[in-house]
Structure 1
Amino acid sequence: MASKTNPGNFFEDFRIGQEMRHATPRTITTGDVALYTGLYGSRFAVSSSDEFARQIGFDGAPVDDLLAFHMVFGKTVPDVSLNAVANLGYAGGVFGAPVYPGDTVSTVSTVTGLKENSNGKTGVVYVNSVGRNQRGEMVLDYNRWVMVRKRDENAPAPETVLPELPKVVAPEAFQIPKGLDLSAYDYELAGSPHRWDDYAVGEKIDHIDGMTIEEAEHQIATRLYQNTAKVHFDQVAATAGRFGKRLIYGGHIISLARALSFNGLGNGVRIAAINAGAHANPAFAGNTIFAWSEVLEKFEIPGRRDMGALRLRLVAVRDQRAIDFPLRNTDGKYDPKVLLDFDYTILIPK
């Protein structure tokens, strides 16, 4: 009798052009928003206050952009990364329609690249994933690549195909929410006086505050997103793995670092794009996360005088606040303290 359970896809199960319509659409509620706030302590006014959000043209407070990201991402895990060793990177991510409590998101992914690793035990799978709301509007379109185990190490390697991915999302590709107008932006209520013009390319911002990861918190967060990857939950499997303990979901670090970035970038009203990203090293319960940002570029928004965009490098490190130590060692590998190297773009009032 055929098994009724799903062991997840292994590397040899993927093929170029394969489309996966992921199960379990997710209706996002105010309860999810409250739990997300409790987990990360995000203080961005636009996702905290209906009245603030309405003043600048939203229908109400949209859910945090990264909460929407995690919900869209979580749908993909049972099909793409249930048997993953690690999630490796991101590129070409564009945020679309704002997500509000009551909206339902679902995700479809397409395999765009495959490359077996030299050890013959794993391979890298590239996918493009698109999340949509109940009206079919795109809420997030992004690319990621993940290292996945092989079921059979003797299975033949597929032809290597590497997708062409943009290094930076151009301003012309940003999806500015309909009605968004920052000319009436209230800087006092937002908690920061700093506008687009106040930031300079090359400037580094130490976000100062740290936050220690607790085992229970990251497991609650990962379950909130219905992310079923074994490496985050299964201590039996983790004990047999490389590190001997459960790994913190990489997205948990992104959300922690973004929440910490409020101190210095409090007027980042919306994430417009994810340009690139690397989970440089694994994180574990007990690590204390600090973050800093570097302004990589400043973009004018075509046709807009009320807002501009900042391309930022957000770096999260563990157990160390200093922002000027070399991120990579002499061998080119990330310093073990570096957890996240994230390149993204925010909209900010002028």
Structure 2
Amino acid sequence: MAKTNPGRFFEDYSVGETIRHAVPRTVSGGERALYHALYPARHALYSSDEFARECGLPAAPLDDMAAFHVVFGKTVPDVSLNALANLGYAEGRWLRPVYPGDTISSTSDVIGLKQNSNGKSGVVWVRTKGHNQRGETVLDYVRWVMVRKREPGSDAPEVVIPELASVLKADQLVVPEGLDFTNYDFGLAGEPHRWGDYAVGETIDHVDGVTIEEAEHMLATRLWQNTAKVHFDSGARPDGRRLIYGGHVISMARALSFNGLANAQMVVGLNGGAHANPCYAGDTVRAWSEVLDRAETSAPGVGALRLRLVATKGGDPFALKGDDGKYLPDVLLDLDYWALVPL
């Protein structure tokens, strides 16, 4: 009897099943230190316990995207070990901050299946939840992946495509308990720009760039215990190149956005996202943002901005798609998210 895990194939999923992912992870200050070593992350709320306390939190949480990577990494052996591509995200909500000492585990519900016309692969939709040691949900999101079939000629399952909201409404966002920006220190945060200083339709070139190194990508992917073959094994793809984990690009772009969005402190919603083109070691990642919407919240001094974050490896800033409606070759990431900003 085989004892190793070859990963799931498209035929191994059924709508309605719940997958309990292995290996819970207790996080510590080490995750924060490594995260800030891998990315130029400088948002004050995640860098300083004292700044976080002044904002009503008990201490500085783990960066939101770091929490996302921990939850995501648990799912890879069961969801995307044999994936050809991670296609998108929707309905993502950060429900509780993750603090050093928390133990994070993940479960996924299969909510959709659709075989591709070539009969060699199919798309799997899952809703993943991350939980802390008290059983509280800290993160909830949907993603869909293209997964290989074990037997190309096998029967196709019944098509189930879930209905997903294109955008989270502002009242669906969860503001962490106690968060209060009324005494927010703009000097320590690094920029003077408030919620009211951003206009819908405004675009921001974040100016800076970072060249992706193979060693950093490998360290990051191992840190999050992401075992997807295309990120580690150069023989997993016909071109012999290892793909940079899409989450690595997300975190790099989010960190670069500090220059112009230093006060977009907390990510609380993920409306959608696409990894438009592959990223490889040697690519220099740059980023720009567009303000899509604004909303007030019930928390004192706290507003929300809906932002489009685009990562590129060159080309003109603010260029996204060509006349054919397809992403331009230099576009790596198109992410639509909500962030909390002081009023």
- Normalising by structure 2, report the TM-score: 0.98
Task: In structure 2, list runs of 5 or more residues that go unmatched.
Answer: none
Kindly indicate whether residue 269 of structure 2 is the aligned counterpart of residue 270 of structure 1: no
Task: In structure 1, list runs of 5 or more residues that go unmatched.
Answer: none
SS in structure 1 of the partner of residue 81 of structure 2: coil
Per the TM alignment, residue 144 of structure 1 is displaced from its structure 2 partner at its CA by: 0.3
Per the TM alignment, residue 329 of structure 1 is displaced from its structure 2 partner at its CA by: 2.4
Name the structure 2 match of 1:12: 11
Work out whether residues 46 and 63 of structure 2, in 8 Å CA contact, stay in contact via their aligned partners in 1: yes
1: CA distance, partners of 2:128 / 2:194: 33
2: CA distance, partners of 1:285 / 1:139: 32
| Residue type of the alignment partner of 1:293 | S
1: CA distance, partners of 2:323 / 2:204: 25
| Residue type of the alignment partner of 1:197 | G
2: CA distance, partners of 1:311 / 1:331: 26
- Which among 340, 343, 346 is matched to residue 336 of structure 2? 343
Instruction: Tell me the percent identity.
Output: 62
Per the TM alignment, residue 175 of structure 1 is displaced from its structure 2 partner at its CA by: 1.3
SS in structure 1 of the partner of residue 207 of structure 2: coil
| Residue type of the alignment partner of 1:334 | Y
Kindly indicate whether residue 208 of structure 2 is the aligned counterpart of residue 213 of structure 1: no
2: CA distance, partners of 1:57 / 1:304: 11
Name the structure 1 match of 2:143: 144
Deviations 1:114-140 (A, max 9, x none): 011111111100000000111111110
SS in structure 1 of the partner of residue 182 of structure 2: helix
Name the structure 2 match of 1:188: 187
1: CA distance, partners of 2:314 / 2:326: 19
2: CA distance, partners of 1:177 / 1:304: 9
| Residue type of the alignment partner of 2:333 | L
Per the TM alignment, residue 224 of structure 1 is displaced from its structure 2 partner at its CA by: 0.3
Per the TM alignment, residue 305 of structure 1 is displaced from its structure 2 partner at its CA by: 4.6
Kindly indicate whether residue 313 of structure 2 is the aligned counterpart of residue 318 of structure 1: yes
Cα RMSD between the aligned structures? Answer: 0.9
Name the structure 1 match of 2:241: 245
Per the TM alignment, residue 36 of structure 1 is displaced from its structure 2 partner at its CA by: 0.6
Deviations 1:18-58 (A, max 9, x none): 11000000111111110110000200000000100011111
- Which among 326, 329, 333 is matched to residue 322 of structure 2? 329
Deviates more, 1:165-174 or 1:288-297: 165-174
Kindly indicate whether residue 254 of structure 2 is the aligned counterpart of residue 261 of structure 1: no
In the TM superposition, 1:18-97 aligns within 5 A as 18-97=17-96
1: CA distance, partners of 2:332 / 2:87: 12
SS in structure 2 of the partner of residue 51 of structure 1: helix
Kindly indicate whether residue 287 of structure 2 is the aligned counterpart of residue 294 of structure 1: no
- Normalising by structure 1, report the TM-score: 0.96
